[in-house]
A and B are shown apart, each in its own frame.
Chain A
């Protein structure tokens, strides 16, 4: 299958690969997976508790090129955004930016889930109530 140029670019030069200290109270970790393809994605964000700005984001993804590109793009996008802005990122934004074909849409869903999971974890650590789980992935298919 042909990948778009942007996917290949992210795949060859993934941004922000690595990990942050899971024990840091300002670091939120999101670990998500998709059973059909076996992809697993770990997304971590360091958030400034005063400004609520995401200062650092790292990822490690085991999966296809589109999954890697989706998570790489997600880390780029969330950096410098506030928690609320990052939570507003939709998988469809990722699909558009990377020109993902329909069979790869689940990769972008995974990335959106990972952002939400990581920020949910951060909120929990900060003693904030986790937002109601918004799982509306079916609409993306």
Chain B
């Protein structure tokens, strides 16, 4: 999918549709500018555009919260009790979409995952998920210790030493997670800067691809740390 050029005034991904009621042109607003009627979600509108935001990864939480509260008040079903059934349903639907959009954008991690998903960089099951090769040896060793821990526990042996080793390994991977998060944040800042400077598509695609790779690494390490912590807790 080609990335449209960033615009300063209006957020990207806002198609122009016509109002279901008065047929006037509606662009990116939740209500028709002419007749004021609530509008269905325009096809292809992304969560950033939903809040009138550019597709940047740095979002001021207070600004997002403010938009969310304003919109939830405007789209709230209570405002439509005397409206037509069509509008009542729209209000319900739009309110639930609003909650999804807010939840997704509020967390930096789900925000970047969402950006990559709707720009088709990352799709569940289609991207080749490769473990970080530099970590494989450590991961394998860690798994061998976990096996040993389970066996020792079953046979009633002394697990203290193994637990200590695993604790240290988990701490080591936890530190790597922090590194990965910092890397992701740095790439996010580069992405925002690229949008601001109107960087070309190749540069933007390269950044998105790198973010996707970092996310792969992150999820790998996250699973690992979770698994080790569970085992330690059970030992």
Contacts from A to B (Cβ < 8 Å): 31-38, 40, 42, 60, 62, 106, 135, 137-138, 141
Q: Is the CB of A31 within 8 A of B136?
A: yes
Q: Is the CB of B136 within 8 A of A33?
A: yes
Contact with A along B101-144 (1 / 0, CB 8 A): 00000000000000000000000011111111000110110010
Residues in B neighbouring A35, C-beta threshold 8 A: 129-132, 216-217, 219-220, 223
Given contacts A35-B219, A40-B140, A62-B143, contact A138 B131 (CB under 8 A): no
Closest to B123 in A: A141
24 A-B contacts (beta carbon < 8 Å): A31-B136, A31-B137, A32-B131, A33-B136, A33-B139, A34-B129, A34-B130, A34-B131, A35-B129, A35-B130, A35-B131, A35-B216, A35-B220, A36-B220, A38-B220, A38-B223, A38-B227, A40-B131, A40-B136, A40-B139, A40-B143, A62-B140, A62-B143, A138-B126
Task: Tell me if B224 counts as interface (CB < 8 A to partner A).
Answer: yes
B interface, size bucket: 20 to 34
Q: Is the CB of B140 within 8 A of A42?
A: yes
Interface of B is mostly: helix
Residues in B neighbouring A137, C-beta threshold 8 A: 128
Q: Is the CB of A31 within 8 A of B140?
A: yes
Q: How far is the CA of A138 from the CA of B137 in the complex (A)?
A: 25
Residues in B neighbouring A106, C-beta threshold 8 A: 129
When the two chains form the complex, which single residue of B125, B137, B139 contacts A141, counting CB atoms closer than 8 Å? B125
Closest to A140 in B: B128
Q: Is the CB of A37 within 8 A of B131?
A: no
Residues in B neighbouring A138, C-beta threshold 8 A: 126-128
**Most B Cβ at <10 Å: residue of A37, A62, A137:** A62
When the two chains form the complex, which single residue of A37, A40, A141 contacts B126, counting CB atoms closer than 8 Å? A141
Residues in B neighbouring A37, C-beta threshold 8 A: 223
Closest to A136 in B: B128
Q: How far is the CA of A33 from the CA of B142 in the complex (A)?
A: 13
Given A32-B136, A34-B131, 5 new contacts (CB under 8 A): A31-B140, A33-B220, A35-B129, A35-B131, A62-B146
Q: How far is the CA of A36 from the CA of B132 in the complex (A)?
A: 12
A40 to chain B, nearest CB (A): 5
Residues in A neighbouring B216, C-beta threshold 8 A: 35
Q: Is the CB of B126 within 8 A of A36?
A: no
Q: How far is the CA of A137 from the CA of B129 in the complex (A)?
A: 10
When the two chains form the complex, which single residue of A33, A42, A60, A141 contacts B131, counting CB atoms closer than 8 Å? A33
Closest to A135 in B: B128
Q: How far is the CA of A32 from the CA of B130 in the complex (A)?
A: 8
B174 to chain A, nearest CB (A): 15
Q: Is the CB of B129 within 8 A of A36?
A: yes
Closest to B215 in A: A35
